[in-house]
Homo-oligomer: A and B are copies of this chain.
């Protein structure tokens, strides 16, 4: 590929970016899109933008960029949680290190590479991009020490910055822990693998165990119920209710009957339905859904939330092995109420390890199946091969601009399209793994997508050739540095265009929210439905791997092919602005891992650094510079030592909570007399079907949420259920309830609760 081709690609992308950004700055001012672009703010701040027609609305303006840049870290922490701050810090780290790398490499290394060989230099636009890589250096060149020194500087500064970030985020995590004083999850332990007793119910078993062994700190407990049937009926009823929503004239009773029929259709037993119309008002006067008699005894499952008097006591129980059988009475700190992934709670704990292994195998198989499209793309960058295989293309490819387009642009686009299928698949795998919280599921999917991306975008592209020859190439570990050293400078062109297409374009589409925008348009003007909220939570599992992959590309190419760095730097800066804007306006934070994405980012960056150093080792070896090789080996060792130090120094804090802080919080609460109040609130914190008198539909949403997730949570299509807020008041003013008599809704819910209440001898099948 020539410099001209690269510039063409850059031109197209810059044009697209400017177009999208301008479009965004106009679209965001249109009142009909307000829910697409300000979903979070509307949901949380209850604002409404004025709906006047003024010219200003159609003029692009950069004000949103200024707003995004002005907002402080504390504001992000406040509005979007610690994970958002961590993501922000990853971008800040990337901008810092790649600014330095860009300056050093573009002004120090690039000229050396370009003038590395005594050759006739053509005009720069038609010069091959490879003349800018280290491949252009002569063997045994006296100037290779510059590359080595630059590598040292980049590694050292990267480690220093990483350490500072780790320290900063550890401090944030600590204050995050300490600030959440009223968080009921700190008092709650999720117990799984409760042994089944033939004489006692699960509830009795739990009570007797904890009163026997943790009497001083045990408060109460709540057994998790398997709500498979309940869930089906409820979501069926929900659908029907939505359909019949427009018939405002129908009475409650009529609607109730409709639901009843629907339940019959979908196969649920109806043996208690005849009683309903008559006893309806009396029976459902105050449906005590928390009453354990509501739940069939058979449907209790071997999991329970156990509440403790202090946070420290809960931590202790969560961390200590309870009995001699590690598969029973498995304890862990409970996730927050909104974070719980209910349908996984009633998986038998014994299954979990098999599920882990199965999904691991599944992911690996998927990774290797994916080699096929990647191999095809590989063919596109090597145009000569393609022409040989598909001779009819020769006519098209003879035109110069077509060649440039195809080599510079098309491969990335195709790869990109295939990559869109990856996050939903990995999310599905993570769901099957059996995590107990949404955040854990997302984090697990994030790791899977990360490994996948690094393997399929970096390694497979670098170790070019057919799918099978790549595996063979990797099966000889001693050869890997040499292989990489030969391949990375050659593939730098592809990576540069990948940054342009995948990076820049994906930022624009992220900003534009194309999917949500289109869907909003279709709903509003074609289906003429009432507009819906667009409250997604931030897709960490796609964005974190993306940013980290670009970091990896930056590090590995930095010294060897520095031309990628300016483009990468622009990507990170743009990303910084865009993502901050999205955090502030679009995404809603429903659950938070408490900064657990940082260790992933840290480890990946260290991996990138070490990989860079190994590749440089190979390159220096190929260039026959023993001094540079000799100096690179200790650098690798020092980087690994640094990694080990960070593991010892900071990682434990990200795996557990420190006792000191929890005890301090407990003491403060006791001194202030807040403990009683906290204990009161604990009892209702983890209701599987929260009290419907206060929180209409809350139980439904929690249950209903189990069904979205995996299938629909792709790159830009993760719509998750939106009504999982903690505060009942928020729910009452919730837009989905707008214009609907809440009392009616309540009645529907009550009737359902009554249907589900088992009558002796009449258990629904």
Contacts and interface: CB of A to CB of B under 8 A. Distances in A.
Contact of A656 (B321, B650, B659): B321
Given A357-B644, A648-B353, A324 B213 contact: no
A478 B478 contact: no
Interface stretch (A469-477, A564-572, A740-748, A749-757): A469-477
Q: Which of A170, A322, A324, A326 has the most CB of B within 10 A?
A: A324
B326 A652 contact: yes
A320 B324 contact: no
A47 interface: no
Interface string A630-652: 00000000000100110011111
Contacts of A476: 475-477
A652 B316 contact: no
Contacts of A354: 641
Contacts of A645: 353
B326 A659 contact: no
Contacts of A324: 170, 174, 653, 658, 660-661
A671 interface: no
Contacts of A650: 326
B321 A320 contact: no
A327 interface: yes
A319 interface: yes
Interface string A309-334: 00000011001111111110000000
A663 interface: yes
Contacts of A326: 648-653
A326 B648 CA distance: 7
Interface string A337-362: 00000000000000001100100000
A321 B653 contact: yes
A477 B478 contact: no
A654 B287 CA distance: 49
Q: Which of A319, A321, A354, A645 has the most CB of B within 10 A?
A: A321
A176 to B, nearest CB: 12
A657 interface: yes
Interface in A468-493: 472, 475-479
Copies in the complex: 2
Given A316-B316, A657-B321, A648 B327 contact: yes
B316 A660 contact: no
Given A316-B316, A327-B648, A357-B641, A322 B213 contact: no
A556 to B, nearest CB: 23
A315 B641 CA distance: 31
Contact of A322 (B170, B357, B472, B660): B660
A316 B320 contact: yes
A658 to B, nearest CB: 5
Given A213-B659, A476-B476, A663-B213, A649 B321 contact: no
Nearest to A661: B324
Closest 5 pairs (CB-CB, A-B): A326-B652, A475-B478, A323-B660, A324-B658, A320-B659
Interface of A: 170, 174, 213, 315-316, 319-327, 353-354, 357, 472, 475-479, 641, 644-645, 648-653, 656-661, 663
26 contacts: A174-B324, A213-B659, A213-B663, A315-B320, A321-B653, A321-B657, A321-B659, A322-B659, A322-B660, A324-B658, A324-B661, A325-B649, A326-B648, A326-B650, A326-B652, A326-B653, A327-B649, A353-B645, A353-B648, A354-B641, A357-B641, A472-B478, A475-B476, A475-B478, A475-B479, A476-B476
